[in-house]
Structure 1
Amino acid sequence: MKLKPPIKGRGAQLNIHNRFFQLSHEMRDDFLEFCQKEGEEADKNKTLYLEVFPKTIVNKIESPDVGMSYSMNPYQGCEHGCIYCYARNSHEYWGYSAGLDFERRILVKKDAPKLLEALLKKKSWKAHTIVMSGNTDCYQPAEKQFEITRQCLELFLKYRHPIGIITKNALILRDLDLLRALAEDNLITVNISITSLSEDTRRILEPRTTTISKRLGTVKVLSENGVPVNVMLAPIIPSINSHEILPLAKMASEHGALSIGHTIVRLNGAIGEIFSDWIKKTMPDRADKVLHQIENCHGGNLNDSRYKTRMRGEGKIAEQINNLVRLARHKYFKGSKMPKLNLDLYEQSKDGQLKLF
């Protein structure tokens, strides 16, 4: 059945209260009725790009189970609108809602390249893989206009510094020249997120993301150009995409991916309310079933914050999902793995030029 969310092109269907604010804002029925009578739009549903000025751009990751030590995010908020996105909660720290604001108030860090270069030139900095998009996608639609990610890639190449990228947008192929050059020195890995092979599912889960066929094509092009690719089947949501694990893994392998990763959805913080509202509006026939199965994976709760457990879940449903992923790895990726990145070239290139001796 083809389903469309009520608010066109958006994942969240509401702006929920920011937990850090004493006052709350609501769209009253009498105001909506007034707008309808006057022929006015109550909500223009436009995306705003707002420049911010952070003091640093690279963050040290303290969590022991996320698979990265350092991350950087040229943008805060993400227009992709993925309804399950764990990063939604971070928007509250900037004074916005984790709901629609997260998708429509995009904070742009134009100084990111300057801040990155200042870090890479520090004598005290030692090479560690820095992952772009540890929080929000560095190739979201804003990147087409601002090209901050590309400027940062040029710096990683200049200083021969290792980098990881997480994205679900085919826009990454715009920078194939830089990616290929980084790959020649074993300085880059790319993680492409693919959550479904169904376009109907993709449209309601991730309304402003690139199509599945383009994402698979991106995996193929990167792989053919020597850029190592891991496909993230993340998150796996019971009764929405959990039945697609094996076919997803097969397609990833056939398009050249070296490995797959996965997480089981957890609806931490404000996301529980946002996701529950969304699924009751877009999938009313199975909303309760999906929510109860998510709870089954996390000890009766929609969220689980325990390290080592929160990503994989527990209980029978989580066990079935994790077993399927293990089977997929054995069947389609046996003997294949992502390379370790080169940490040695950076020390020779700190002045921006590779030394001969």
Structure 2
Amino acid sequence: MGYIYLDNAATTPMADSVIDVMHDQMINNFGNASSTNYYGRRARQVLDDSRHIIAQSINAKDSEIVFTSGGTESDNTAIMSTALSRQNLGKHIITDQTEHEAVLRPMEYLETLGFEVTYLKPNEKGVISVEQVEEALRDDTILVSIMYGNNEVGAVNPIKEIGELLQDHQAYFHTDAVQAFGTEDIDVKAEHIDFLSTSAHKLNGPKFIGFLYENADKHIPSYIRGGDQETKRRAGTENIPAIAGFAEAVKIADDDEKKRRRETYYSFKQKIQSILTEQGINFEVNGPTDAHGLNHVLNLYLPGIEKSVLLTRLDLEGFAISGGSACTAGSLEPSHVLTAMFGENSPRLNDSIRISFGKDNTMEEVEKFTNKMAEIVKDLTN
């Protein structure tokens, strides 16, 4: 039985060219980029070239890209380093209730240190408004952290408008763009972003590599202490094969490719909804229903259909989807994102699934999946 993979918001398969680039680097470029010998200089060249490719993709300077182990480290660095280094200016932080745990857990820890965190509640589409941020903003606010696009429901927040709001305020602006980088057009200068987090494995790159964009005009101390790598901003020997693979993944997802993916993914979402409607399946979309969200994420509420049962049935039939964020998939707790959107007593918390598309999915796969899901739902409701 051939599996059809529709859980790309959790992770994506590495692109063939990414694997080729990494394989070549592992064999032919094993030097330490901090060494001054021939092998070190070769590694340094790959590091510099990769940094340039990635910086250009978000309109940043090369020097503003700091390689990390991934989105979690990038989020923690931006939040913890900003809070601890600027607490003399205030101890108030703004974020939202639908953030990834890599943002929420550091926020909770900071609260134990005496910081005050305002958690904004999204609307029923999962979106935070700029008016909410403005209302919560105080003179002692030192950081605003609002995710670019939500990993569970695909909601996209008004990042540019929030960035503009903060232009004349002391608060630094961080956004977790792990789910958006590689599909959305991001310009850190035009959107007035101070810190931006990413992870390569969400766009067909390797796991355990990401970057944190740090605005050159904003200064925070190193979060991981040790050597002088990454111009003293992130200690640890750089993982050259992974960084080269990340750069290759970014090259693949150029502007034309991102546009193509968005259009293709939106057609997938429309097809799924069309088939379910034709089959008489009762469902609703959790999150954006138009093309202004993350088009690779579709979260569906199927009333009366327990998600764990549906996921198991689909898995046995050869289809991989999820019930929400992979980082909490093993938890018995309901989705904090859906809880924030609909309340803790909403049936959507237990009767919703997440389908997420990748660059290799086809319309034939989507149709096959949807027809099988409709068949299972009918069986479960009879």
Q: Which has the higher contact order (CA 8 A, sep 6+)?
A: 2
Q: Is the structural similarity TM-score above 0.5?
A: no
Structure with the higher fraction of residues in helix conformation: 2
Tell me the TM-score normalized by structure 1: 0.30
Tell me the TM-score normalized by structure 2: 0.28
